[in-house]
Amino acid sequence: MSQSGFTGGLAARGAVDLQASPPPRLHSVDGARHRELELQLAALRKDYADLHAALFEAAQVHRRLCAPRLVRHGDFEIASEIFAVRHLPGDFFTVEEASGGVIFALGDICGKGLAAGMWTTHLVGLLGLHTAASAEPQEIVAGMNRDLCRISSLAPLASLFLARLDPATGRLDYCSAGHPPTLLLRADGQMESLSEGGPLLGVLPEASFARGRVDLCVGDLLVAYSDGILEARNSADQEFGSERLEAQLRRSGTGSVDALLFSVLGAVQDFAGACPLADDTSLVVVRRRVPRGFAPAVKNATHLSLTQSFE
């Protein structure tokens, strides 16, 4: 066989082989895969939208469980705000009418996000149950603690500051269950720390809780907060801490409760800067307003400036 014939034979066989093998259907395969990915993306978008709607509804339920941002009882104003670090806050604040006064409570469930937020409804329910049975702060807290300990080992720990205020007299009975000390800024500039109570809720079923008592006078400010305020950190890894909180209260303590509330929250955010907050942030401010025409005796210039600002 000649070389040309050999070459021609190879070429012919190659042509036959090429014609026998169907061309790959790349466009068809790519199109099917693209449509499949589009369907998956659409499903993911729908799931995300449904989750977003569910979280929004849960946040609205939490908001309805808590007290309005501004509440008035007699000469007293109570302002509060809660910010969640992850979707749903584990902090809560309630105000309820009770025999002999008004009961308000700031709670902080350990943890954050959905795991903590899902327990707020239960703790607010326990609070309402025991508030209906007793108006004594230490008895309410002790009852909540026993019920929480009975549930199971899955129940979270929680801190709580609970107080009963008599708007007519200014008498405040309170009990703190492992909560950061509530601050009382007197009209004369003195700062007091309210920490009477007992351990965190959910630790010991038979834990005992003590009652504390103070009188809120004209111009006094009561400030309760969650540990998210103190634990806010800046870029230098410094905590906001109690000293900065007290200093901010002294700088802003002569304004309205609303102004003081947002002044402190703004100071925390300015301190943190671009650093995200690590925990839910809650703040409650209670002030006894100066009645019109009230002219208390003043002992020093600090007291005078405070009194004039309140008027």
Which CATH number does the domain housing residue 302 bear? 3.60.40.10
Provide mean pLDDT across the span 291-298: 53
Position 152 confidence tier, pLDDT thresholds 50, 70, 90 = low
Contact between 73 and 103 under an 8 Å Cβ cutoff? The reply is no
The pLDDT, as a whole number, for residue 297 is 45
Band (252; pLDDT cuts 50, 70, 90): confident
Instruction: For 40-92, write each residue's pLDDT tens digit.
Output: 888 888 877 767 676 666 666 667 777 788 999 989 999 999 998 877 888 99
Q: Is residue 111 part of a domain?
A: yes
pLDDT digits (tens, 9 = 90+) for 255-285: 789 999 999 999 999 999 999 988 899 999 9
Are the CB atoms for 303 and 278 separated by under 8 Å? no
Whether 301 has a pLDDT exceeding 60, the answer reads no
State residue 99's pLDDT score: 78
Residue 306 lies in a domain: yes
- Residue 2 falls inside a structural domain: no
Answer whether residue 36 is part of any domain: no
Residue at 109 is within a domain: yes
- Number of domain units in the chain: 1
Q: Which residues pair with 176 in a beta bridge?
A: 161, 197
User: What domain range is 156 assigned to?
Assistant: 67-310
Identity of the amino acid at 156: P
Weakest-pLDDT range from 24-38, 117-131, 145-159: 24-38
Give the model's pLDDT for residue 290: 72
31 is a domain residue: no
In a domain, 54, yes or no: no
Is 107 inside a domain boundary?
A: yes
Lowest model confidence (mean pLDDT) among 50-64, 196-210, 214-228, 276-290: 50-64
